[in-house]
Amino acid sequence: MVNTLFRVTPSGWAGMACLALAIFIVPEIVGTRWLSVFTSTGCFALAIAGVAFMYARLGMVSLTQVGLMGVGGWVTLRLNHAFDFPFEVNMGIAALVTMICGWILALPALRMRGLYLALVTLMAAGGLEIMFATFQFPNGGDGFWGVQTGSSDPFRRPWLAQSPQAYMRYVFVCVALGFVFIEIHRRLKPGRAWALIRRSEAAAIAAGVNVTLYKTWAFGIAGLLAGGAGALLAGSLGLLDDGTFRASESVMIFALAVVGGARYWYGAILAAVLFRVLPALLNNWGVDADLSFVIFGAGLLHAVITAPDGIAGQIRDALLSRRKGANSGKGGADA
């Protein structure tokens, strides 16, 4: 039991190698601007992991993940400016509050399937966008909304990660923990329930699986990850801007999760890289930012039409077929 729970797959080893690379090498070689780009890439990877997991394991589409990140970020900033808690406590509370928000959103929505669930979450994303635009994010002002004009009060980063480099490592470790969290769920009872629900809700009910509970559970995990991601994003700059949390961004995140490949952890990373790093690169090369929309859109259409498992699925297929080719070259070692 414990053996199967903690067995590390080849993909898991690859993930650890990537994490090591991201922690030990990347912060040493990149400049200040790219540090912040990669840090926010990490935050979005965590949020995308949440949507991708829900879509791949249960076929549920959430179009409000970035809105939920905004909730997490809002709570973190609010707590930071109101109390003296350390960052980790703020982040934990923010993640829990966001999870509860996800549940509140999910419970009525769970009677709906497929398209309607997606549309309800889209409405929620539209609502959150307007809330953020109206009330802004706390920056040390008075009152409940805590907004003041002019410069914002300082933000307390985690004591482990005061410098930008250290904060980047901190974010990457959190992202890795998020992926492990999902994977452990997948290998335990909830994962089996989700697999059954994904196959057929009728079969799941007949087998005694509490469908509502496990769907809500999945929504909660996605909310938790979004809340954590929002908190980490707030910590990256110490303030947040409502422009980051538009409904269109939530839809984009889902779209990119499909493009990246929702079934694999590297799909979420690829999606976050497309979302954050590609626009920055295009900007560096002097390509008009508007054209990055065209590239995203074309990439999305291409991925949806030709690659149901996204880019990650194509990478995996390529690797598997190469290994197969090598094996058959050795005279069919499998046989």
Partner 1 sequence: MTVSGLKNWLLWAAIMAALILWFSWGQRPTMVGLFIASGLAVGSLYALGGIGIVVLFRATGVLNFSGGAAGAAGAMTAWQLETWGLWPPLAWLGCIAVALAFSLFYGRIVAPRLAWRETVVKAVATLGYALIILGLVSFLWADDPRSISLPTDGVGIRFLGMRLTATRLLVFAASIAIVIGIYFFLARSKVGLQMRSLADDRDLSALIGIPILRVETIAWGIAGVLAGFTGLMFADLIRLEASVITFMVIPSIAAAICGRLENLTVVLVGGLSMGVIENLLTLSPLLRGVRPIAPFVIAALVLLWYQRGQKLTFGGKD
Residue with tokens 């930012």: 289
Q: Per CB under 8 A, does 163 bind partner 1? A: no
Residue with Cβ nearer partner 1 (44 or 179): 44
Q: Residue 258, interface with partner 1 (CB under 8 A)?
A: yes
* 311 is an interface residue for partner 1 by CB under 8 A: no
DSSP helix/strand/coil, 226:
helix
Residue with tokens 């087998």: 207
- Contact call for residue 118 and partner 1 (CB under 8 A): yes
Binder among 148, 216, 292, 314 for partner 1 (CB under 8 A): 292
120 forms part of the interface with partner 1 (CB under 8 A): yes
Q: Are 230 and 101 in contact (CB under 8 A)?
A: no
Instruction: Kindly indicate which of the ranges 126-134, 169-177, 234-242, 311-319 contains the residues binding partner 1, using the contact rule CB under 8 A.
Output: 126-134
Q: Which is nearer to partner 1, 79 or 204 (CB)?
A: 204
Q: Is residue 251 at the binding interface for partner 1, with CB under 8 A as the rule? A: yes
Q: Supply the DSSP symbol for 140.
A: S
* Residue 234 vs 258, nearer CB to partner 1: 258
In angstroms, rounded to a whole number, what is the distance separating the alpha carbons of residues 148 and 136?
A: 10
**In angstroms, what is the minimal distance from the CB of 213 to partner 1?**
11
290 binds partner 1 (CB under 8 A): yes
d(CA 314, CA 307): 7
- Return the number of the residue (172 or 214) whose C-beta is nearest partner 1: 214
Task: Answer yes or no: are the C-beta atoms of 4 and 187 closer than 8 Å.
Answer: yes
DSSP notation for 150-164: SSPPP----TT--SH
Asked if 131 interacts with partner 1 (CB under 8 A), we say yes
291 in contact with partner 1 (CB under 8 A): yes
Is residue 213 involved in binding partner 1 (CB under 8 A)?
no
Q: Position 42: which residue type?
A: G
Among positions 11, 85, 96, 113, the unique one binding partner 1 when judged by CB under 8 A = 113
Contact by Cβ (8 Å): 69, 224 = no
Binding piece for partner 1, criterion CB under 8 A, among 154-162, 274-282, 297-305, 312-320: 297-305
Q: Crossing angle, helix 65-82 and helix 211-237, to 10 degrees?
A: 60
Specify the 3-state DSSP secondary structure of 215.
helix
Inter-residue contact 105 to 124 (CB < 8 Å): yes
For partner 1, which stretch binds (CB under 8 A), given 22-30, 276-284, 298-306, 314-322? 298-306
Q: Which of 162, 163, 248, 321 binds partner 1 (CB under 8 A)?
A: 248
Kindly report the CA angle at 309 between 303 and 312, in degrees rounded to 5? 90
208 lines the binding site for partner 1 (CB under 8 A): no
Work out how close the CB of 123 gets to partner 1 at its nearest, in angstroms, rounded to a whole number.
4
Q: Assess contact for 175 and 42: CB atoms under 8 A.
A: yes
Question: Is-contact 242 132, C-beta < 8 A?
Answer: yes
Let me know: does 283 contact 290? Beta carbons within 8 Å. no
Report the interface residues with partner 1, using CB under 8 A. Answer: 59, 61, 108, 110-116, 118-120, 122-124, 126-127, 130-131, 134-135, 200-202, 205, 211-212, 247-248, 251-252, 254-255, 258, 288, 290-301, 304-305, 308
